[in-house]
Structure 1
Amino acid sequence: MFSKLAYSVFEQSINDYHQFDNVDQPIANPYGKDQFEHLLYMKNWIDTVQWHFEDIIRDPQIDPVAALVLKRRIDASNQERTDVVEYIDSYFLQKYQGVQAKAGAKINSESPAWAFDRLSILALKIYHMNEEATRAEATQAHRDACQAKLNILLEQRTDLSTAIDELLTDIENGDKYMKVYKQMKMYNDDDLNPVLYQNKK
């Protein structure tokens, strides 16, 4: 099952990151570039680093100049995240290119890669909520509340994993078909963001 494979790679990436717990630690992707797992690991590593960027930038004592530098890094990370999602969808488009969609086949509201994006973020929520649910110096009330939230996240993981596997099975059987739209983000584009193109004059 693709969801089980993906989640195991996401967990590996999260655990590898937390050996150093440093946003500047370079990625050491253990998978070859010809492996699907390479994209999954890269995707989650980006998400994991950005998770910690988002923690850092919320520090009320952060230096404004440092915050601006970090905001630029978050913007770049967002673009990289989107690029990798599109690479993952390209993998599935190629994988299922020979499948003939059945008459009446339907399209899904999101592509497989964006569903994996949600699973990657969910893996991070589970990891960090588990940290809070077992944090020794926290109050018992805090740990109990976080455990209740963790239980919901684990249920969500089951549901999302099932939905992903069912989607891929439907595509493989021709009951659904893939149609991928590029994100076409405008704010990073010098020709589409008015603030940027007006400054070029």
Structure 2
Amino acid sequence: MFSQLCSEIFEASTSKYHDTDDVDAVMPSVYPDQTIEYYLFRKNWIDAVQWHLEDIIRNPEIDPVEALAIKRRIDKSNQDRTDLVEMIDSYFWQKYINVTRATDATINTESPAWAIDRLSILILKIYHMKQETERPEATPEHRQACVNKLNILLEQKADLSTAIDQLLSDIEQGSKWMKVYKQMKMYNDPALNPVLYRSNK
């Protein structure tokens, strides 16, 4: 099942990131470039770095100049993440391009890659929630509350994995079809963000 491949790669990436736990660490070369395995590993690596940037920027004592630099780094990370999701969807588009669509085929509310994006974030949530269940200085009540949350996250992972595999199966069989829309984000585009194009006059 494709969701199992995703989970294995996301878990490996999350674990590898935490070997250094450094937002400036260089992503290791684990898979050949331009393979689906590479895209999945890179997807989760970006998510892991951004997870920790989001933690850092919430420090109430952070220097405002540093905070602005991190906010801009997060913005770029979001764009990189979106670009990578579109690459993963392109992989599925090419894979299923010759499938004969049933006359009553329907479109899913989200593409396969955006569901996989959610799985990547979920793997990170599970990793960090598990850490909280084992944090020695935390109260027993805190650790138990986190155990309860972890169990829900694990159930959510099982459900999401099933949904991803079902969606891919439906696309392969022609009962659902993919329609990929580019995100067309406007705030990063100097031709579409009024603040940017007015500043260039």
TM-score, normalised to structure 2, is 0.99
Matched residues in 2 for 1:107 and 1:8: separation? 28
Which secondary structure state, in structure 2, belongs to the residue aligned with residue 19 of structure 1? Answer: helix
Task: Report the 3-state secondary structure (helix = DSSP H, G, I; strand = E; otherwise coil) of the residue aligned with 2:138.
Answer: coil
Structure-1 separation of matches of 2:166 and 2:197: 44
Deviations 1:136-172 (A, max 9, x none): 1111000000000000000000000000000000000
| CA shift digits 1:83-119 (9 cap, x unpaired) | 0000000000000011011110000000000000000
Match of 2:93 in 1: 93
* Residue in structure 2 matched with residue 176 of structure 1 by the alignment: 176
For 2:133 and 2:200, locate their aligned partners in 1 and report how far apart those are by CA, in whole Å.
51
Cα distance in 2 for partners of 1:196, 1:9 equals 38
Aligned to 2:48: 48
Q: For residue 121 of structure 2, what is the amino acid of its counterpart?
A: I
Aligned to 2:16: 16
- AA of the residue aligned to 2:69: V
SS in 2 for 1:67: helix
| Deviation of the 1:29 alpha carbon | 3.0
Q: Cα deviations across residues 5-64 of structure 1 (Å, max 9, x unaligned)?
A: 001000000000000000000111300114211000000000000000000000000000
> Structure 2: any 5+ residue segments left out of the alignment?
none
Say yes or no: does 1:73 pair with 2:73: yes
TM superposition score normalised by structure 1:
0.99
Give the Cα–Cα distance (whole angstroms) in 2 for the partners of residues 162 and 176 of structure 1.
16
Match of 2:58 in 1: 58
Contact in 2 for aligned 1:2/1:165 (Cα 8 Å): yes
* CA deviation vs aligned residue, 1:166-191 (integer Å, no higher than 9, x gap): 00000000000000100000000001
User: Which consecutive unaligned segments of at least 5 residues does structure 1 have?
Assistant: none
1:36 aligns with 2:19: no
2:144 maps to 144
State the one-letter code of the partner of 1:188. Answer: N
Conserved in 2, the CA contact under 8 Å of 1:31 and 1:37? yes
Runs of 4+ that moved beyond 2 A: none
Q: For residues 129 and 116 of structure 2, what CA distance do their matches in structure 1 show?
A: 20
